[in-house]
Amino acid sequence: MCVAAQTFLRSNALISPSIHFTTSVIRLEGEYMRTRNRQDGFLNRSAPSAPPVNRLLATLPKNEYKRLLPKLKTVNLVLGELLYESGDAIKDVYFPNDSIISLISEVSERSWLEVGMVGNEGMAGLPVFMGVSSSSIRALVQGSGTAMRMSSAAVRMEANRVGSLHRLLHRYSHSLLTQVSQSAACNRFHLVEARLARWLLMTNDRLGAEAFPLTQEFLSHMLGVRREGVSKAAGALQAGKLIRYSRGVITILNRRGLEAKSCQCYAIIKAETDTYLN
């Protein structure tokens, strides 16, 4: 958690790392607890038509799922938590239920970019399955919720036997690569407003909530633009009554409208993500 906050705020270079560290832990945990308490189940998740479980795991045949169950542990992931850092050993992998994990690439202290988003359709920690112990990509919790955690050792076992999980992870790898490629092109060609709309929709899909805590500062790192750019784009979306936001909480008011503002990339990525499990 400490590490999480440290990274989360690393961009603010004016304050010394240690100060950073302390204040941001407080800030993050504080913010989270507050929002959770203010309104029970703050996220306003819509009535769960489907129970919030990881769809990748849910697709496994029963016997295989049973075999894996002892190795899986439900854990809570909190916004801002850093699951693994660039270059560090990956100790566990995560199958999100209703949480979201961002895969982030960094080219400099202040320039980050989300290259992929992992929700209940996938797993964070693919490098382990691929036989690599660390990655240059950072995994940061972008939406609070639960996930199923599995040790890297257990994942490495799965890499050695071709079973249902093995095959599913292959399909997922392809899906993720597609997502990363599509958003690379999207980030290159599309305007900030469209990309913001896409990002909010993707988050909405995975979180199953209409409102979620996110500052513009955080968003700016996801989209790879300045905070002021997010302010402008978000302001435009709010003016159009598509979203509402205040002090780190964003609420989606009009999904259809957001879809119209977003680029095709949203639909393309969603189609890929939704169909690979079939």
x/- binding map, residues 245-274, to DNA, per CB under 7 A?
xxxxx-------------------------
Go through 175-205 and write b for each residue having 16 or more CB atoms within 10 A of its CB, e for each that does not: bbebbbebbeebbeebebbbbbbbbbbbbbb
The one-letter amino acid code at 31 reads E
Given the complex with DNA, which of 171 and 190 has the nearer CB atom? 190
> According to CB under 8 A, which residues from 125 to 154 bind its own copies?
126-127, 129-132, 135-137
Find the shortest distance in angstroms from Cβ 94 to its own copies.
17
> According to CB under 7 A, which residues from 20 to 39 bind DNA?
23, 27, 30-31, 34, 38
Find the shortest distance in angstroms from Cβ 269 to its own copies.
10
227 binds DNA (CB under 7 A): yes
In this structure, are strands 249-252 and 243-246 parallel, antiparallel, or unpaired? Answer: antiparallel
DSSP state of 25: H
In whole angstroms, how far apart are CA 60 and each of 33, 65, 68, 159, 188?
35, 6, 10, 16, 36
Interface residue list for DNA (CB under 7 A): 23, 27, 30-31, 34, 38, 191-193, 215-217, 224-229, 231-235, 238, 245-249
